[in-house]
Amino acid sequence: MSRKKYAPTSIHSAELWTLGGVLTFFGITVLASIFIGDQEVFEHIAQLDIYTVYGLLSLSLINYFIRAIRWHCFTRQLELPINWLHNSIYYVAGFAMTITPGKLGEALRLWLLHRSHRHPYEKTAALLITDRLNDAGAVLLLCFISAASISSGITQILTIMMLGTAIVGLTCLCLQPSLLLKLTGWVYGRVNRKPRLFARIRHALRQMSRLATWRVYGGMLLAVTVGWFAEVLALDWLLVDFGQSVPLMQTTFIFGCSMLIGAAAMLPGGIGGTEISMVGLLVAAGVDLNAAIAATAVLRVTTLWFSVGLGFIALPVALWIAGGMDTD
């Protein structure tokens, strides 16, 4: 007996985006090393021992594990009965699509839920949107907590305030969607076509409001903030290894600010925006340029690219579970 072989066409596109992202990332790193750094960049990277690499990857795994738990908690809140192990595999498989514009390819998780459990998209769309908002809120919370330690850098603080206002405003709109529901009704009244589509949009908006509780959304926000702080510790570890002295709270601000800027740029995986921001902020904090480039490059490999690699490992398993691969 075999299952029908089927896979979303976006997987091939994601492979191309990932290849392009790898080339872009390493191109930026090499060019930065050649034109604004020197041989010390590679010397810093070469001095890392295998135990440090294991430690950095372990900190990333803590982040991914907490976020996978959040995904499952959100599905339970929406009363979507899914096995925890399968749900976690779907979540990790979505990392394979991170290197797509705006991370839109991570909607693969919704396809997997629909394919394997027949959950309609209007019921699961809230998962993807709320998951993304919760990540942004957690990184923003790290920025706000650490901003008090920044004695200078008014431009960076103002940037965080503007991004924070946008994130908080968007979160309130989505999790308390009364205004969006009225807007949807108003648009339908003007268009007066495709009633099923507008009904699905309204259903998706109501689903998001079910996640807007202090126990669920607030609890997961605090938990995921701990997960993202694990990656801050990875950056701090690298800086210490490279002989640089930066207060932990300042490192937290630099990490959070860089991640938000990269996300706001809507570039695939934040490539370019995140790296340039992180190097610039590290140098402004007194970090040697070569060490800043090396630390940023290693951090992105052990966070972003590590997650993409795990995603491609989990993807065949997720497709098999969803009935997308042949089996005897």
Q: Is the pLDDT of residue 29 over 70?
A: no
Tokens of 156: 């960076």
How many Cβ atoms from other residues are within 10 Å of residue 317's Cβ?
A: 15
pLDDT band at 296 (very low <50, low <70, confident <90, very high): very high
94 vs 177, more confident: 94
Q: What is the pLDDT of residues 243-291, one digit of tens each?
A: 998 999 999 999 998 998 888 776 666 777 888 889 989 998 899 998 9
Calculate mean pLDDT across residues 37-49: 79
- From CA 201, how far away is CA 206, in angstroms rounded? 9
Domain extent listing, the chain: 12-176+212-321
323 vs 95, more confident: 95
pTM listed for this prediction? 0.82
pLDDT given at position 213: 80
